[in-house]
Amino acid sequence: MRVPLACAFMLGVVSGSRSLLAPAVVSRAIRGGTVRVEGTPFAFLEGRSLNHLLVGLAFAEVVADKLPMTPSRKAAFAYTGRIVTGALAGAAIGSHSKRVSLGVLLGMAGAVVGTEGGAAFRSWLASLFERDLPAAVIEDLVTFALVGFVNSKLKKCALPSAAL
């Protein structure tokens, strides 16, 4: 079986930017049949109610991120949450090829890269615009572009190499 290393890592990067977006993307992929997790501990992600909840929370996070009272993504609790959701997304992707541990590690590494890189990128953009809102919107657009790229590759990543 082919290990979807790039997809697990990129979903971790997405978690570093928006913590609930990667689990929502994975849940949608599982519900759509792109990723198969039957018989694994990640089968719960296929639930319709959970899927709707994750998508709703992900969009609420995108909105809440623009508010001035939102804490830093680098605060301990937020940082940990991003690593956990990156690990969950990576593990679910890695489970298809029986490489859960590798998926977890790559999801976690991607979350660290996404958290640190996203914060630096947004800070740099905010200094250019002299305001945070345009920087936050651009960061969201980049994150959604990455989600679109991962979605386009996810089906290929999740298939066994013999089927390609």
pLDDT band at 37 (very low <50, low <70, confident <90, very high): confident
- State residue 65's pLDDT score: 92
pLDDT bracket for residue 157 (50, 70, 90): low
pLDDT of residue 159: 53
Q: Look at residue 8 and tell me whether its pLDDT is greater than 70.
A: yes
Q: Domain tally for the chain?
A: 1
Average pLDDT estimate for 99-111: 94
pLDDT tens, residue by residue, 120-132: 999 999 999 999 9
Q: Are 45 and 23 in contact (CB under 8 A)?
A: yes
Residue 163 has a pLDDT of 44
Residue 6 has pLDDT above 90, yes or no: no
Are 103 and 94 in contact by the 8 Å Cβ rule? The answer is yes
Structure tokens belonging to residue 130: 């002299």
pLDDT digits 0-9 by tens, 52-99: 999 999 999 999 999 989 999 999 999 999 999 999 999 998 887 788
Range of the domain at 127: 5-163
The whole-number pLDDT of residue 1 equals 39
Burial status of residue 151 (CB atoms within 10 A of its CB: 0-12, 13-18, 19 or more): middle
